[in-house]
Every structure is written in structure tokens, then in C-alpha cells.
Structure 1
Amino acid sequence: MNIGILGTGFGAYHASLFHQSGVAGRIVVFGRNEEKLKKLQEELGVETSTSIEEVINDPGLDIIDICLPSALHKQFTVMALEAGKHVFCETPVCLTAEDALAMKRAETHYRKRVLVNQFIKFEPAYQYLYEAVQQKKYGRLLKVSLIRETPPLWGNLGLENITTNLMIHELDFINWLLNGAAVTSVWGTQDAKAGQALVQATFNTPQINAQVTAVSLMPSAYPFTVGYEAYFEHAKLEFYEKDDMQGGIDTALYVYGHAGRQEILLDKVNPYEHSLRHALQCFRDGKESVLSLNHALSAINTAIDLKKRLTNLVH
């Protein structure tokens, strides 16, 4: 399938993955920085354009891959769907309930698909947890806690932004894992001057308690970290992944059971690449996808709800 990519930030990485994997035919990249476009053309052999309309309306393209700021996602998703293209969209899929509704209406009206790069579902450690729950590998899941921590690296991640811009992958995973469990409480605090925050949201089903914690105000020496703890009837899973501050990643998944502690060896895969490959296959074959717009909208609507609750707490 032939792909038009909008943006040269994450878009450049997407172009590189598509090129390396060999799963795409033509690759056309839109951007406004001609030096970046020239570099992509030289390194990857992709086509480039400084006209977003030209790329979206190119009759030879099947998919538009949107890697623009999230506030622009709705506008160009609707434009691409209207032009008869499928859409692959970066996260967060949008930032408002109004944009979410408009994107869903356009997907339905134009009968093309929107898939969203909620790549956490292709992270081996999170896949392991999901499958353990579905298969009751360690008995019934009782409680799960997910965490994402970062020093101030990503701009303003205060209470007005942290749920949509940092917490979104964990919210997507919890919605997937627990099939849309209700939010029962949220707590947050922030350094308003620095635009950084700490938020914890709690979800409950009749059988399971879940928490998601997102922190953007860690000290600069603290590594970017994700992880989880999952309590089952017969075991506990512990996972962490953190930058080692030297360009590498320190990661491990352990299961604590009746036989002691065991490390689960995870496949060394790139979840971004798996997410892109999966999306292309679903576009091509018409299969259902865990990256569906419905999944993404469930997560973003949860994030927007949490944002409103936090705003009410602050004021």
C-alpha cells in the first residue's frame, strides 16, 4: 500500500520504519522544512512535498499517516477520509470531545478506517499481562497499577495536559484490559510555574481495582520510566522499563509465585514497528483492530474526563 506521511518530526521516524520494513510501496512525506525533506529523500529515497493538500489528494496513495500536533489531527483526518484515504494517526488522537465526535462521524460517513498508534498493546510486557488476565494464567486478576514517570522533557505537562499527553497509553491499556472500567476517583498536584504534575486515577470493576499514575515532575537525574505491578490470586507480576541514562534501556519482567521468583524473558521487538505493520495489514485485509478509532476515543474521553475532574479540584 502507498502511504502519505504528514509531518517530519515523528513522521520522519514513521518513514524510516516503513522504509526499513519494506511493507509500503510509495512513501510521500509532507513537511515545511525543506532541509528535513531533502535529508529524508537522500537517506530513505522517499518522495517529498511542501503541499499538504497535494499529498492528501494524491490519487495514488491509500493511507494518510498523520504525525502533526494533536490539535490538528481532526482537521486533516476528516480531509483525508473525504479524499477516500484510510488514516493512521499518532497519539493522542485528539484533545477535545468535539474533535473526537467529528472524527468518528467522518469515519462512519466516508466508510474509510481510522487506526491510532496506541502501540503499548504491542509492547511484549503489556501483551504478557493482557494474555495472563485473559487466560487466567495465575488465577483471577485482583489489582493492577500502571506508572509512567518522566523528568520535565516534554514541555507543559501540568494538570491541564498530563492526562491527554502523557497518561494516554496507560489509559488506553486499562480500558482494553478491563473493558472500559469506570473511573472512581482522581487526585493530582502540580508545580504550576514549571507546568509539571503528578496524577493518580483509580478504576474499579466489581472484582478488580486498578490505578494509573503519571508523573512529569521527576528530578532531571531520574530516568524516563514505565512499569506495572499486577496482583493475581496465585502470583504477582512486576515490570519496569527505564532509560539507563547512557542511551540504553534497562527492562525486566518478574513473576513471583509459589515456586519463587522467575524472570520472564521478553522478545526484543520494536512495538512502533509492530503497530505500523499491524495497521497496514488491517487496512489491506479489512480485519478488526485493537488500534481502532473506537479504542482510541475511549482512552481520550477518559483522559478528558480526568482533566475536567482535576480542573475542578484545583479551582
Structure 2
Amino acid sequence: MKIALLGTNFGQAHAAVYAAREDVDVDVVMIGRDAAKTAQVAGQFGFTAATDLDAAFADDSVDLVDVCLPIALHTPMALRALAAGKHVLTELPMAASLEEGRRLVAASESSDRHVFVDMFERFIPANQALDDAVRDGTYGRLEELTCWSAMAPLWPGASLGAKVLPMEGMHSDLDLITRALGMPHEVHVTSVERNADAGAVEAVMAFDGALARSSVSSLRPMPWGGRGGWTAAFTDGVLESVSTMGYDGKPTTSLTACTGEGVHEVELPPADQYAAMIEHVLAVLRGEADNRITPAGALDALQLTLRVDQQVNAGW
């Protein structure tokens, strides 16, 4: 497996996973605009550095193009990879518009290549426990789901102002919500902005017989790091997950169940969601699994994220 990794910022999270694996060609090509920075970052992981983006698509030996570029480039690069006969893994959100997202869905479904969207939160054990509880009715019917995350400016140079928070910070939680409850029939959004790089957004969503909230904030000092979680209230109990996370994307998570019989901690298997996501990608490419993170499966979350984004930016 040879991989062309596009992007040297968040691409480092994927690079660390590839570098730790023995079954991936260690001569991963890491491609960035800044030659010096690309060489420095690629060198940390023992990868080849390049600045020629065209090479990722022209090189017949490249099997997978991994797109860790700004959101506006996700769909164009994914479509270009498909046209070049490559499998593609794209960061989320998969598109900057619903039209682009639908175009990627159509292209992926008509291609014999796999397209993966980095819906990493689906591989977090606590989130998988919520999916299972909703599907199996373990605690009855889900009536309320509240998701929250609050972070410091952990990614130097990246804006986390209110205008970008829906696309940059809420998408994963909105995917959790749409998987659990479907698409809402009402969405109400409020936001506050300290400056162009720090703010907070909250969305309240109404469903038939249920409601959900998603709250994301970048109004925290650096020692805070990143913290988040969710509370799911069912007719017969409550599940609550709390996690802390740093730049490496490796959370410390707890899961608590509360029913009429009492409160207990739910044991979770250890997991690194980025490693698990990439393991899934490689397993699919080896023919050992079905793709769980297709563009079609990410379209509802994209549509809801764009709806929240539109309401936030309409108010500024």
C-alpha cells in the first residue's frame, strides 16, 4: 500500500498512524506547499516529502490519496483522485456545499474505487455504545441527546471563530445526532464571537418526540486543552460520556449508565479513533470489511452542518 498524504497540518494526525504500522509502505509521500515545512514534518515520520501535487495523481504506484487539506479542497481533490483511478480518504466535512457532497456521492457510487470520509468519531467506543443502545433499545427510546465540546486554540494558525465552528467543530457531533435521531424538522442556532478566532455556537434541534443540542466553544485558555462529551436520555435510563483530548486526538473517555437500579461505569475497550478509522480503511482495501464511512453515509451530517453554518453566518 502506497499512500499520497496531502497536507502537513492536520495531516500529521494521519501520518502518525501510518508511521506506526508495519503493513503500510513507509515511503508515504507527504505533499505540502511549503518545501521546508513539508520536509521537516515528513522527516519526523520517515516519509518522502514533495511539493508537486500533480505527482499524487500521476504516480501509478500510489494506491490511496489521503486528503488533509482545507475544506474547500476536499471534494475537488477526491474527485481528481477518483478520476486518476485512486482510492481516496478525505477529511471531514467531505464537501463545502451540499451540491458538492452529492456530486462526490454520485462519483463514488459510479466508481470501482473506494471513497472514505474520515468520520473518526464513529470509531470511538463510547459513541459505538450509543449507536448500539439506540439500535437495540437497551434503555428504551431516545428522547434527548446533548453533545458538547470546548477547546483551547490547540491548532496554531487555525481559526476557531464562530463563523467557522459549525464546519470545523460541530460536524462530528451532528453526525452522532443524525445517526441516532435522523434529520430534524426544526433547527435553532445561537452564537457569540470574542474575535475572528474564538467563539461559541449552540444548535437546538427538534425531532418527532425528541430533541437534541450541539454546543461547541473555543473560548478556553490553553491549559484547558480539549474536553467534550454527550448525554443521552432514554425512556428507561441515561448514558453519559465525558472525554478529554489534546492535539494528538487521543481521548481519555468515561461512559456512565444510570437506570432505576442505580449508576454504574460502562467498561470501554482502549481505542485510538484515528488508528481505528485508518485500520478500517485498510481492511476495506484488503477486501476484509465493508466501507462504513462512505460519502452517502455522511451526507445527512453534511446537510445538517451546512444548515447550522448558514444560520450562524446569516447573523454576521
Query: TM-score, normalised to structure 1's length?
Result: 0.88
Alignment match, 2:28: 27
Against the structure 1 CA distance between its residues 183 and 153, is the aligned structure 2 distance closer, same or farther, given a 3 Å change threshold? Answer: farther
C-alpha contact (below 8 Å) 1:227/1:241 kept by paired residues = yes
Determine what percentage of the aligned residue pairs are the same residue. 27
Partner SS for 2:195: coil
- CA separation in 2, counterparts of 1:181 and 1:79? 30
Paired residue type of 1:13 = A
Equivalent-residue separation in structure 2 for 1:56 and 1:298 (angstroms) = 29
Task: Judge conservation of contact 1:41–1:48 (CA < 8 Å) in 2.
Answer: yes
* Aligned-partner residue type, residue 47 of structure 1: T
- Cα offset, 1:271, TM superposition: 0.5
Alignment correspondent of 2:62: 61
Alignment of 1:9-158 (within 5 A): 9-25=9-25, 27-39=28-40, 42-153=43-154, 155-158=158-161
Counterparts of 1:157-168 in structure 2, within 5 Å, are 157-168=160-171
Go from structure 1 to structure 2 and tell me whether the alpha carbon gap of 1:17 and 1:220 turns closer, same or farther (over 3 Å shift): closer
Asked if 1:289 is matched to 2:254, the reply is: no
**Secondary structure, counterpart of 1:239 in structure 2:** strand
Q: Which one-letter code corresponds to 1:258 in the other structure?
A: G
Letter in 2 for 1:156: S
- SS of 1:167's equivalent in the other structure is helix
**Paired residues, number:** 312
Correspondence for 2:186 among 179, 184, 187? 184
Match of 1:259 in 2: 261
Q: What is the CA-CA distance between 1:302 and the residue it aligns to?
A: 1.2
Q: Which residue of 1 aligns with 2:6?
A: 6
Matched AA of 1:296? A
**Aligned-partner Cα distance in 2 for 1:33–1:157:** 23
Segment drifting more, 39-48 vs 207-216? 39-48
Deviations 1:59-112 (A, max 9, x none): 112110111111222221121111001110112222223432332343245442
Supply the distance in 1 between the matched residues of 2:313 and 2:113 (Cα, whole angstroms): 36
One-letter amino acid of the counterpart of residue 3, structure 1? I
CA contact under 8 A between 1:158 and 1:191: conserved in structure 2?
yes
- Residues 204-226 of structure 1 show CA distances to partners (whole Å, capped at 9, x for unaligned) of 33233222112222455544211
Deviation by residue 1:161-195 (Cα, 9 ceiling, x = unmatched): 111110011011111222x3225122212126344
Closer, same or farther: CA 210–35 of 1 in aligned 2, 3 Å: same
**What residue number does 1:276 align with?**
278
CA contact (8 A) 1:176 1:295 kept: no
1:141, CA displacement in angstroms?
Answer: 1.9
Q: Rate the CA distance shift 1:31–1:81 in 2: closer, same or farther, 3 A.
A: same
- Mapped to 1, the partners of 2:94 and 2:288 lie a distance apart of 21
| Contact 1:252–1:263 (Cα < 8 Å) also in 2 | yes
Deviations 1:4-41 (A, max 9, x none): 11122222332231231223235222223444444456
Supply the AA of the counterpart residue of 1:207: G
TM-score (norm 2): 0.87
How much has 1:293 moved relative to structure 2? 0.8
**Structure 1 segments of 4+ aligned residues over 6 angstroms from their partners:** none
Deviations 1:143-162 (A, max 9, x none): 11111112344543334211
The equivalent of 2:200 in structure 1 is 198
Structure 1 unaligned blocks of 5 or more: none
Shift of 1:48: 3.1
Q: Which residue of 2 aligns with 1:229?
A: 231
* Alignment-derived partner of residue 312 in structure 2: 310
CA distance in 1, matches of 2:312, 2:33: 37
Stretches of structure 2 lacking an aligned partner (at least 5 in a row): none
Distance 1:12 1:270, change over 3 A: same
The residue matched to 1:137 in structure 2 has which SS?
coil
The corresponding residue for 1:170 is: 173
Given that 1:138 and 1:232 are in contact with CA atoms closer than 8 Å, whether structure 2 keeps it comes out as yes
